[in-house]
Amino acid sequence: MSDAFGTIVFEKEGSVAHLALHRPDRLNAYSVAMRDDFAEALHAVAEDEEIGALLITGRGRAFCAGADLSEFGSAPSQVIARNARWQRDVWGQLIGLEKPIVVAVHGFCIGSGVEILLLGDLRIAAADTVFAMPEVQLGMIPAAGGSQTLPANTGPSVALDLLYTGRRFGAAEALDYGIISRVVGPDELEPAAWEIAQELAELPTGFAAALKTAWGSGSEMPLDAGLALEQRTAATATGLPRE
């Protein structure tokens, strides 16, 4: 099954939903139109009980080369243009999705591309991927989660280095920093990503959501409270009585 949008390709194969960014002439730069298409597709994924996992990729030579800076020229200010881009809470939809999310990146993964990546549960990159967070160098700060998700994965020292300098780095560094969990050859990326997504889609119903709850909420708690949450969540997921 495939649904056509203007800026993404959305398809469903078995129990896996596949959302591919599709503005190849702009290296999949994130635009207002892409935001709207992304939001509609994520709503469909959340509502479809047959879907067990979501795979996010990019078509063409890049995963996502960042925000579409050409849109800034038609807005009264950069702030207004940037705020318009986030008026639909795509990032909140990703955070709240109770299904495993696999993100597979290649080519350029810049700015908004990194922010999408960091909201995935399993993150895989082609070995030749180029990463960067250039917002500060452009007179902005990340406004789609990067200032929070990047240090949560890399630690504050590495995050500040990447955010202050906006420097580019490769997949090997991204793996060392904890931004991605796996690196594969460019030709292996899509098959590997599909294999992972299909495996996750076969998890027992509700277990992925339970794990996300235990990890996401528990990570913000003291250890004893997190362990108690884990026990409650596990009991609920398995149908066992709570102690």
Q: Catalytic site residues?
A: 115, 135
What's the rounded Cα separation, in Å, for the pair 106 and 205? 31
The residues that bridge with 10 in the sheet, in sequence order, are 3, 19
Report CA torsion sign: 191, 196, 199, 201.
negative
Residues 6+ apart with CB under 8 A from 77: none
What's the rounded Cα separation, in Å, for the pair 186 and 221? 39
Secondary structure string (H, E, C) spanning 123-140: EEEECCCEEECCCHHHCC
What's the rounded Cα separation, in Å, for the pair 233 and 224? 14
